[in-house]
Amino acid sequence: MLILASQSPRRQQLLLQAGIPFRTAVPGLDEQRSEGETPAAYVLRLAREKAEAIQTGANDWVLAADTTVVLDDHVLEKPIDRADAARMVRLLSGRVHEVLTGVCLRRGAQIWTDVETTRVEFAALTEAEIEWYAASGEPLDKAGGYAIQGLASRFIPRIEGCYFNVVGLPVALVYRLLREAGYHLPLG
């Protein structure tokens, strides 16, 4: 059985849409970036720690992921409040940033990992648009303070790379890792 080490409704929905059966478990880790840690190393480390924190049986597989937003080498985590969300969207306005997701698949002691990177262009926003979006509440539990699949979709004219990565789980990368690891998915 595949265990998704996440309580994210977005990750769960993406796996369901892709026809990948799973159950969930919450790893309960403190997600802090280490000083000097690159964004890619950060999301990979957290994904691996999440996967390793889940207790499994002999036939279980664990899938874990961690996503962050990077603007000019500055990591934008989830905003702590409405003002922080507005600050993040203000920084992203009129700029291109990257969304990185580290993915870890574990079976027993075996580990498969990779990082997906997507470039996202944000339109230039007015202060009224920034305040409206921050007040919507949508940005509060999202890395970088926005949800591409929600209200913020109106602000994003283009992306370069995997859309699902920006939502929170690069599904094609997950499928590739599952295949490489020998996990057998039902086809039909």
Q: Catalogue the active-site residues.
A: 66
User: What residue spans define the domains of the chain?
Assistant: 2-181
User: With bands split at pLDDT 50, 70 and 90, how would you rate the model's confidence at 187?
Assistant: confident
pTM of the full structure? 0.93
Complete DSSP assignment for 14-42: HHHHTT---EE--------PPTT--HHHH
First-last CA distance in the chain: 17
Q: Which residues pair with 116 in a beta bridge?
A: 101
Token pair 């985590």: residue: 77
Helices (H), the chain: 9-17, 39-53, 82-92, 127-135, 163-167, 171-181
For the stretch 118-157, pLDDT in tens is 999 999 999 999 999 999 999 998 999 999 999 999 999 9
Please say whether the structural domain 2-181 has been given the CATH code 3.90.950.10: yes
Question: Residue 78 corresponds to which tokens in the numbers above?
Answer: 């989830």
